Amino acid sequence: MSDESSAEDSVDRAALQELRASHADRDHVVETLSDAAAEGRLTPEELDERVERALGARTLRELAALTRDLPEQRANPSIPSTDVVKIEKRFGTAEWVGTWLVPRRMEIRLTVGNAKLDFTNAVITHDQLSIDVELGIGGDLTLITKPGIVVVANDVIVRSMAEIKVRPPQQDPDFPVALRVEVTGQLRGGDLLVRYPKSIR
């Protein structure tokens, strides 16, 4: 990695974290906090304190800190999947967990937010899923797989600060391939992590 490239990445990171928040950004965080309080994740006192901070936040970094410990979006098994699912997060967390129907294609754009796709109990009706990603400096994507699911990320463009970490074995002769996940796109600082659930080693 050159000194010039490192300097550019440092500038990009600082600029991204200090990006000014809009009214829509603040409203979205307030809605997320209210939903979390309704689910019992925040006490009334915590809700009041975080909402006050959200309304006074100037940057995306300040807003992201208020929802970092809260799940914001979960897949609903009662909602049928479409052929293309799009996830765009400037901040916050998107989680597809439990029983959800795997689409044929996903487009994931993360700025300073995180996303997790847990395939442990997902409903797989076809043998291939294409995922196009664009991960910013603070956006990480985690794929939780299981034997029989193979992830291919050979065509992902990785910039200097980003990483692809694939921990499970990608070809297990005891399990025929049930789903091939092909990941394309670019990592501009965020990481792509592929792993098994903690119960599977």
Question: Could you read off the pLDDT of 66-85 as tens digits, one per residue?
Answer: 888 887 555 444 444 457 88
Q: What confidence score (pLDDT) does residue 67 get?
A: 84
Same domain, 118 and 154: yes
What is the helix (H) or strand (E) element at residue 10, kind and residue range? helix 3-17
Of the three residues 28, 43, 70, the one that is the final residue of a domain is 70
Res 95 pLDDT > 60 = yes
More confident residue, 146 or 174: 146
DSSP state of 181: E
Q: Specify the residue for token string 């914001």.
A: 72
Task: Indicate the pLDDT class of residue 171, thresholds 50, 70 and 90.
Answer: low
Same domain, 86 and 185: yes
Same domain, 150 and 60: no
**What is the phi/psi pair of residue 9, to 5°?**
-65, -40
Same domain, 62 and 109: no
Same domain, 163 and 134: yes
Percent of residues, the chain, with pLDDT higher than 70: 82
**Residue-range definition of the domain harbouring residue 8:** 1-70
Segment 173-186 shows an average pLDDT of 88
Same domain, 37 and 59: yes
Same domain, 97 and 194: yes
Rg (Cα) of the chain, in Å, rounded? Answer: 18
- Amino acid identity of residue 169, one-letter, is P
- Contact present, 114 and 143 (Cβ < 8 Å): no
Q: What confidence score (pLDDT) does residue 170 get?
A: 64
Task: Indicate the pLDDT class of residue 174, thresholds 50, 70 and 90.
Answer: confident
Which residue from 86, 141, 94, 92 is spatially nearest to 112, judged by alpha carbons? 92
Same domain, 82 and 163: yes
Of the three residues 9, 40, 70, the one that is the final residue of a domain is 70
Segment 29-36 shows an average pLDDT of 82
Res 184 pLDDT > 90 = yes
The count of domains in the chain is 2
Same domain, 41 and 97: no
